Amino acid sequence: MIGGKKILVIDDDVFVREIVSETMQQEGAVVFTAENGQEGLRQFYATQPDLVLLDVMMPHMTGWEIGRQIRQLSNVPIIMLTSLSKEEDIVRGLDYGAVDYVTKPFSPKVLAARIRAALRQSSQEPAARDEKVATFHDGYLTIDLNSHLVTCNNAPLKLTKTEYRVLAYLVQNAGLVLTFEQILENVWGWDYQDSIQYVHVYVSRLRQKIEPDPQNPHYLLTEYGTGYRFKKAV
């Protein structure tokens, strides 16, 4: 899965760059490295990588800013690779467009597994994993999974790939309570079963985009302690 893929590593720690490069090269990847944000962005434009591994705490330009700039241009998967391990840091990384967040020190084998999962997620669409296709329309919100179209008040919404996958999975199972674990497995993969916070972050982001009042959701409903469900069309 990693073989032949282009991986860009942006980290000011030479040891991290070396160990990640060695690990990825053993997996058959083509690796590019940068020791700071400016060089990282130049490498990103020049190489168009399939995945970016991004440190957070770097001089001159933080990983938050680099991730934000990359996300404005591309949906390429970004994995934060950092020593910051607080919950608010993880949430911030996901909010800034990362698909995963790996804390240092890390296991090279686990990192490789996370990269495989991110690349697998990037190459899949919900319809490829589930033959169910659904359309939702109530006059305000329209979701057409055949055409990958989501509109509010007839205005198209721009969703990231992960946001779309979460929404599509909920819509395909409208009316059913989907557990956090089910959502994680179907959107991110089985190796993300301990990452429930990801689900909360992406449902929150979707509510900001599709709900008339995100604080009092009408479509994306919480089943406390269990998961979420999408309102079933009447």
The count of structural domains within the chain is 2
Find the mean pLDDT for residues 129-146: 76
C-alpha–C-alpha distance, residues 63 and 55, integer Å: 6
**What confidence score (pLDDT) does residue 220 get?**
96
**What confidence score (pLDDT) does residue 190 get?**
66
Instruction: Tell me, yes or no, whether 1 lies in a domain.
Output: no
Q: Mind listing the pLDDT tens digit for each residue in 95-130? A: 777 888 888 888 899 899 889 888 887 776 544 444
Closest CA to 3 of 26, 21, 23, 28: 28
pLDDT at 131 over 50: no
Q: Mind listing the pLDDT tens digit for each residue in 151-178? A: 998 899 988 888 998 999 999 888 889 9
Mean pLDDT, the chain, whole residue set: 86
User: Domain end: 123, 144, 168, which one?
Assistant: 123
C-alpha–C-alpha distance, residues 151 and 154, integer Å: 5
C-alpha–C-alpha distance, residues 118 and 136, integer Å: 28
Domain with 217 in it: what CATH number?
A: 1.10.10.10
pTM value?
A: 0.62
**What confidence score (pLDDT) does residue 212 get?**
93
Find the mean pLDDT for residues 17-34: 93
* 144 burial level (CB within 10 Å; 0-12, 13-18, 19+): middle
C-alpha–C-alpha distance, residues 100 and 37, integer Å: 19
**What confidence score (pLDDT) does residue 11 get?**
94
DSSP state of 231: P
pLDDT at 10 over 90: yes
**Domain of residue 38, residue span:** 6-123
Find the mean pLDDT for residues 209-219: 94
Regarding whether 163 and 110 lie in a shared domain, the answer is no
Q: Mind listing the pLDDT tens digit for each residue in 57-96? A: 888 888 888 888 888 777 889 999 888 878 888 888 887 7
* 110 burial level (CB within 10 Å; 0-12, 13-18, 19+): exposed
**What confidence score (pLDDT) does residue 127 get?**
44
Find the mean pLDDT for residues 44-52: 91
* Contacts of residue 75, Cβ cutoff 8 Å, sequence gap at least 6: 122, 160, 161
The first and second tokens of residue 20, run together, are 């990640």
Instruction: Tell me, yes or no, whether 171 lies in a domain.
Output: yes
Regarding whether 113 and 16 lie in a shared domain, the answer is yes
Contact indicator for 117, 111 with CB cutoff of 8 Å: no
Regarding whether 181 and 214 lie in a shared domain, the answer is yes
User: Domain end: 123, 157, 181, which one?
Assistant: 123
Q: What is the b/e burial string over 83-92, where b = at least 16 CB atoms within 10 angstroms of the residue's CB?
A: ebeeeebbbb
pLDDT at 42 over 80: yes
